[in-house]
Amino acid sequence: MNVVIVESPAKAKTINKYLGKDYKVLASFGHVRDLPAKDGSVKPDEDFAMDWVVDRDSNKRLTEIANAVKGADKLYLATDPDREGEAISWHVLEVLNKKKALKDVTVKRVVFNEITKSAILKAMAEPRDLDDELVHAYLARRALDYLVGFTLSPVLWRKLPGARSAGRVQSVALRLICQREAEIEKFVPQEYWSVEAGVKGDEGKSFMSRLFAMNGDKLKKYDLNNEADAKTAAALIERTPLKVSGVERKPARRHPQPPFTTSTLQQEAARKLGFPAQRTMRVAQSLYEGKPIDGEVTGLITYMRTDGVTIAQEAMNATRGVIESRYGDKYLPDSPRVYKTKAKNAQEAHEAIRPTDPMRTPSEVAHTLDADEKKLYELIWRRTIASQMESAVAERTTVTIMNADQTAELRATGTIIQFDGFLSVYQEGKDDEGDEDETRLPMIKEGEVLTLEGVEPKQHFTDAPPRFTEASLVKRMEELGIGRPSTYASILSVLRDRSYVHMERNRFIPDDKGRLVTAFLEKFFTRYVEYDFTANLEEQLDDISAGQEDWKKVLAEFWEAFKPKTEEIIGVRNSVVIDALDEFLEHMMFPEAKEGGEDPRKCPKCDDGRLGLKTSRYGAFIGCSNYPECGYTRQFGNKGDADGDGNADEPATLGSDPESGEPISIRTGRFGPYIQVGEAVKGEKPKRASIPKDIDTGDVDLEKALALLSLPREIGAHPEDGKMITSAIGRYGPYVAHDGTYAKLQSSEEVFTVGLNRAVSLVADAKAKKGGGKTVLKELGEHPEDGDAVRVLDGRYGPYVNHKRTNATLPKGTEPESVTLEQALEWLAAKATKKKPAAKKKAAAKKAPAKKKAAPKKKAS
């Protein structure tokens, strides 16, 4: 008997069918060991020794693996073909050695880029030994990330209340987002003008031309910077007749892009499909692990974590065969296209992401895929086919036109696609900059006199640099050599989960907390958030995987400089830190002086107070230097003025309260926008109501304000006991309440519209949950270990997956209906790992008294 270890249970079933009865394929369910989430798990003073722990679920699996291996002839470690996969194999091997399960067992490593029968059988015929260099690179990366997180985060907690944590790569990604925001804030639009003229040739077809030069000098972008100059320039064009002085036609070719890497797949899926990086990787994992095809589970794409752009010769031949049969000989180049990776610090080479069988078209597999899988498979299939097709052939035409006295030169350009080539299958998505539209010009001859149809000066303003989308941020990180394909999705997710950034219209906007953390790191840990430093460290990690660097030497050099720096900053007084950040962030907090040149830091409430950065247990805010005599505060990110109660200096008045006649206004305080009736009287707070996050402040009118101020709203008496059911908005969002039972509402708007029948139903569901009942959103199937149900349930704080007593919250943005059993098992395993340290603490607490009693006996002896 031979034992094969893979990561996923779904993969294990498929591969067992391929290998037959002489093999037993078992799943590790991902990583089997991890560093415990506490300080001291990596020991720099002990040659970077690491304490690994095995969680309860993994221990059961490893025991099962050990029992299977003890009676086996060979053990094949067949985890994923990347650094993480090599690490999982190493962890399994280490545990099996400790369990003394490998006596007389031959151990080999096998890797396959796709889950198809031919690929599996070929891999099993070509085993190798475990790659120590890849394992060392994993250990170095894991230790670095751990040491940065557990050494730097406590510094943040002490110096910046409200900060969550810092990470080696995530902090640099956050800096990119914050720097872009600072560029946008500092940006000053610059005015410029262009002059366009509509003209018509002998054929009678009109086209647009643009003023290119005046008096023989080519116009630069800002040469026409006001309306008067633009109108003067326009007058020159009106000196007709206009004559064509030249027609230049140049051939142009557009070449296809290489097949997908992890990075380019995430970028294109974001542009074309609107998928966040995590969603892309989750769907790609499903396609990689396989779908039922002709009665057999088959992987549809190759491994999805890769920097490589090459494809295997067999797949290359099949791709060319598809092109020839579906599109014809003219779309097939004479020889295959060969691509080389352009990514900085490309990881160990694997194939690009491609269909396992290019002959398997999207329409042929559509019946076995869900909506997301169909879209992503088609994207991958089209990109792969296009990568081996002929280039598109175009003709670029430039027409030069002169006015009567040669003082104005106009130009018109157009592109005609003469042969679409690869464009018939795939076109690259546009970046923020976009591409020029392809326009077609009529046939124009040199010397032809054109009719002027109109001249129009156009005003323009330069645009601020765009905020990052997931696609553009991943692209920028890849260009800088920051992070690796397997880490991009998790990095972006962590930034959102820690409330350092949020998304608006699919673009990253840094939150105040994120900007403050970035400012702190830039000011006090400058070297460690520099792009070059992070990229160079990635290069060293790659050198370790190539056997060119010693991993412990790299760690020692990093730690030797990093540890003293953290100790130095811990010793700096908090007041010094806040003063430094106050100066560093001045441009953000006080972007410009008030009219008349008044100091923007002058307190609007007291005469001699000065505004500056302050911190509290809730985070940062802007306050007056005369505190507590002057209680003026405003939000850290709010650049407007506020009065002593955190109110806007000139609040937006919506109207008068019909009961009191007092003005109702919208204001902004330390905790966000709210509505207030009248003004504060000493010793007495005015009536206020917060504006919920899901209601746009700009949409709040007098009617909406009065509704918010009137909460809680009485919906009606419960038909069973006659007690009132109410709706309101609380700390955890909108809800209905009845006799101590609370039920969540979907939105703040529903607070004002929910009817009695709906409210009674919600309360009944909430009471059922309270009494142990659960709302089952989806049955996922049986757990492979014990056969117990794995389900998606609806809880007080949202949907979660459940198995026995283990619950795991769904990642943000995950729809309950889309959850698969494989995903649920991974989340449950991860949650079980996190529970382990807590269980240890309880056990230690119980044993403590016994240790105290034993101590005197030892001394006496």
> Could you list the active site residues?
303
Residue partners of 567: CB distance under 8 A and separation at least 6: none
Place of tokens 């746009």: 696
Instruction: Tell the burial category of 845 from Cβ atoms under 10 Å away from its Cβ (0-12, 13-18, 19+).
Output: exposed
Determine the Cα–Cα distance for residues 774 and 766; give it in Å rounded to an integer. 9
- For residue 48, the 8-state DSSP code is T
Residue 652: strand pairing partners: 666
Cα angle value 609/611/614 (rounded, 5°):
120
Neighbours of 462 (CB within 10 A): 12
136: left (phi over 0), alpha (psi -120 to 50) or beta: alpha
Determine the Cα–Cα distance for residues 601 and 610; give it in Å rounded to an integer. 5
The pair of three-digit structure tokens given for residue 193, joined into one six-digit string: 């003008």
Whether the CB-CB separation of 376 and 111 falls below 8 Å is answered with: no
User: Cα dist. 577→150, 160, 583, 672 in Å?
Assistant: 20, 9, 10, 25
Determine the Cα–Cα distance for residues 658 and 674; give it in Å rounded to an integer. 19
Report cis status (omega within 30 of 0) of the bond before 600. no
Whether the CB-CB separation of 82 and 486 falls below 8 Å is answered with: yes
State phi, psi for 478 to the nearest 5 degrees.
-65, -40
Residue partners of 462: CB distance under 8 A and separation at least 6: 189, 190, 192
Determine the Cα–Cα distance for residues 657 and 662; give it in Å rounded to an integer. 5
**DSSP 3-state of 709:** helix
- Helices and strands (DSSP H and E) totals, the chain: 23, 32
Residue 198: strand pairing partners: 208, 454
- For residue 273, the 8-state DSSP code is I
Task: Give the amino acid at 524.
Answer: F
Whether the CB-CB separation of 676 and 716 falls below 8 Å is answered with: no
Give the DSSP letter string of 801-846: EEETTEEEEPPTT--GGG--HHHHHHHHHHHHHHHHHHHHHHHHHH
Determine the Cα–Cα distance for residues 511 and 503; give it in Å rounded to an integer. 10
Neighbours of 752 (CB within 10 A): 14
Task: Give the amino acid at 187.
Answer: F
Counting other chains too, the contacts that 184-190 makes at CB distance below 8 Å and 24 or more residues apart are: 184/464, 184/465, 184/467, 185/587, 185/588, 185/591, 186/587, 187/464, 187/465, 189/461, 189/462, 189/463, 189/464, 190/222, 190/225, 190/461, 190/462
Task: Give the amino acid at 503.
Answer: M
